[in-house]
Amino acid sequence: MSASRPAARRELHLNAFLKPPGEFLAAWRHPDSVADAGVNIRHVVELARTAERARFDAIFFADLVGVPFADQEVLRRVSVVNDSFEPTTLLAALATATSHIGLIATASTTYTEPYHLARTFASLDHLSGGRIGWNLVTSLNDAEARNFGLDRHVDHEVRYERAAEFFDVVTGLWDSFDDDAFLHDQHGGLYFDETKLHWLDHQGRHFRVRGPLNIARPPQGRPVIVQAGSSDTGVSLAASVADVVFTHHPDLAGAQAFYADLKARAAAAGRDPDQVIVLPGLSVLVGATKAEAEDRLDRLSALLDPRVALADLAYWLGGVDLASHPLDGPLPELPLSNQSQSAQAHLLHRARDEGLTIRQLAAQLARDTRTITGTAQSIADHIEEWFTGRAADGFNVIFPYLPDPLDDFATQVIPELRRRGLFRTDYPGRTLRDTLGLPRPPSRWSSPHPATEGTSR
C-alpha cells in the first residue's frame, strides 16, 4: 500500500451474476421466469438495464465450453448448460444496449489461444467505451476437454501454469501499440507512428506468439481482470493478476480469513491490496418477511427433479459416480477432484460435519442453503456486517431465478444500502475501472522501461 496516498473511503461494489434463467438449476421452470431465457436477448437486455438503473458496478456471465451432464435423463431437464448465449458475443450486444454498467464475460485459458482472446476482449473494450472485464478461468471438467481433442481435463497445476503464461501473452498483446501510436494522418499517408508499435516475440513453455495485436490498445489499457481461484495455486494467481476476485464463503470468519490472506498475498506480490477487490457470492431472495422469502425458496426448490439434484452433487464432487453407492449411506472416499477442489472440499466438510447421507446432501444442495432469505433490512445488515468487518469489498449478487429477485434487490435492498450511506447513487465515470476505483494500467513499454528490446523493427 502506498504510504503517501491518503486513505480513500472504501466503496461497496456490487456485481450482478446473471445466469439468464437464474442460478438455480430448475429456475427455468418457475412460473414467473422466462423459459428460454438463455437465448432470449430481449430478456437479457432487460436484466442488464435493470442492473444499470440500480447502478450495479457490473453484470457478469459465467461459461462452460461443454455440457457437464452425460445422462440424457438429467440433461433434458436442465436449461442453462444446454442453451445459452456465448458470453463474449452477448457482451457485444449488451454494449450497445447500455451506457455505463461494466460487462464481464468468462473465457478459458485452457481451451482458447491468447491471440484470439486478446483480440476479442480488446474489441469489446473498444465497442463498449471501456466497460469490459474478463473472468479468467482454467475451465472445470472432462466434458469440456472432450470438445478439444482430449479425454481428460488438463491437470490442475498444468492448467494454472498455462494460465499464468496466457495472461502474460494477452496483456503483452494489448500493449502492442502505445496509446498515442495512431496518427490517422490522411494528408501525409501515415496511419501510425512505427516507433510506437511493439512486437511481442513471446516464446514460452506453452505459447509462441509474435504479435502485434491488430487493434489499438483497449480504452481501459487492460480490461478488468476477474479471477475466482480457490486452490492455493488459484489464489496465488488471483493475488498476482486479478483486479476483482470472486469467491464463495458460507460464514463470516472464513470469508475474513480469505480476505486477509488474499490481500496479504497481493501485497507480497508487490501490489496495492486496495486495488484487489474481493467479492464473495451472495445468493439472495428478498421478502416482505423472512417467512415469505423462505416460502419462495421452498417453492423454487420443489421444482428440481431429484435425478438432476443427484447429478449436480456428483458433478460438484468432481465428476464421481454416485449411482453405485447407497443413497441413504455416507459419501464414499473420493479422489481429489481435478475440477474445483474447493467445491469438493466444501461439500465433503458439510457432509462430515452434519453427518449427512448422499440423499440428504443432494437435497441440501438443491435447496441451495447458501441463499440468504429475508427482508431488505436484514439483507442490508448482512452486507454491512461483511463489508465493515473486512470479509468483502462488495458482493457478487446471485439470483435464484430471474427477473423478480433482481427487481426486488434493485428496488428494496439498494435503496436501503443508500440510506445507510453504503452505496453510491451514480456512476463516477464511464469505464469499469472508473466505477471500481482502479487506475488505468500503463503499457509495459511506457517509461521507466527502456523501449529497446521487442520494440519497433
Ligand X SMILES: Cc1cc2nc3c(=O)[nH]c(=O)nc-3n(C[C@H](O)[C@H](O)[C@H](O)COP(=O)(O)O)c2cc1C
Q: What is the dihedral of CA 247, 116, 131, 410, to 10 degrees?
A: -50
Candidate list 90, 224, 228, 366; residue touching ligand X; CB under 6 A: 228
Please work out, in degrees rounded to the nearest 5, the angle formed at the alpha carbon of residue 9 by the alpha carbons of 8 and 12: 125
- Between 63 and 434, name the residue whose CB sits nearer to ligand X: 63
Candidate list 40, 112, 301, 342; residue touching ligand X; CB under 6 A: 342
Residues in contact with ligand X, shown as a per-residue x/- string from 156 to 195 under the rule CB under 6 A: ----------------------------------------
Alpha-carbon distance 59 to 254, whole Å?
25
Instruction: Extract the C-alpha cell encoding 282.
Output: 451472495
Cell 441451495 sits at which residue?
A: 368
Closest CA to 443 of 241, 248, 221: 221
Candidate list 103, 118, 140, 297; residue touching ligand X; CB under 6 A: 140
Candidate list 106, 128, 375, 378; residue touching ligand X; CB under 6 A: 106
- Between 122 and 137, name the residue whose CB sits nearer to ligand X: 137
Q: Does 38 bind ligand X (CB under 6 A)?
A: no
Alpha-carbon distance 14 to 17, whole Å?
10
Alpha-carbon distance 232 to 250, whole Å?
19
Residues in contact with ligand X, shown as a per-residue x/- string from 262 to 301 under the rule CB under 6 A: -------------------x--------------------
Neighbours of 102 (CB within 10 A): 32
Q: In angstroms, what is the minimal distance from the CB of 140 to ligand X?
A: 4
- Between 63 and 393, name the residue whose CB sits nearer to ligand X: 63
Contacting range for ligand X; rule: CB under 6 A; set: 134-142, 283-291, 328-336, 379-387: 134-142
Q: Does 229 bind ligand X (CB under 6 A)?
A: yes
Alpha-carbon distance 159 to 154, whole Å?
6
Contacting range for ligand X; rule: CB under 6 A; set: 123-131, 192-200, 222-230, 431-439: 222-230
Cβ atoms of 67 and 81 closer than 8 Å: yes
Q: Does 220 bind ligand X (CB under 6 A)?
A: no
Candidate list 341, 364, 375, 431; residue touching ligand X; CB under 6 A: 341
Under rule CB under 6 A, how many of the chain's residues touch ligand X?
Answer: 21
Site for ligand X in 46-85 (CB under 6 A): 62-64
Candidate list 171, 230, 378, 435; residue touching ligand X; CB under 6 A: 230
Pairing of strands 277-286, 208-209: unpaired
Binding-site members for FMN are 63, 106, 156, 160, 230-231
Candidate list 139, 171, 373, 443; residue touching ligand X; CB under 6 A: 139
**Total residues found in the chain within this entry:** 457
Q: In angstroms, what is the minimal distance from the CB of 87 to ligand X?
A: 8
Give the Å distances, CA to CA, from 137 to 55, 142, 238, 239, 259: 26, 15, 10, 14, 20
Cβ atoms of 18 and 47 closer than 8 Å: yes
Give the Å distances, CA to CA, from 431 to 44, 179, 242, 368, 412: 21, 16, 17, 34, 26
Cβ atoms of 133 and 226 closer than 8 Å: yes
Closest CA to 342 of 252, 274, 270, 248: 248
Candidate list 231, 377, 412, 455; residue touching ligand X; CB under 6 A: 231
Q: In angstroms, what is the minimal distance from the CB of 230 to ligand X?
A: 4
Applying CB under 6 A, the residues found at the interface with ligand X are: 62-64, 106, 137-140, 228-231, 234, 246-248, 281, 340-342, 396
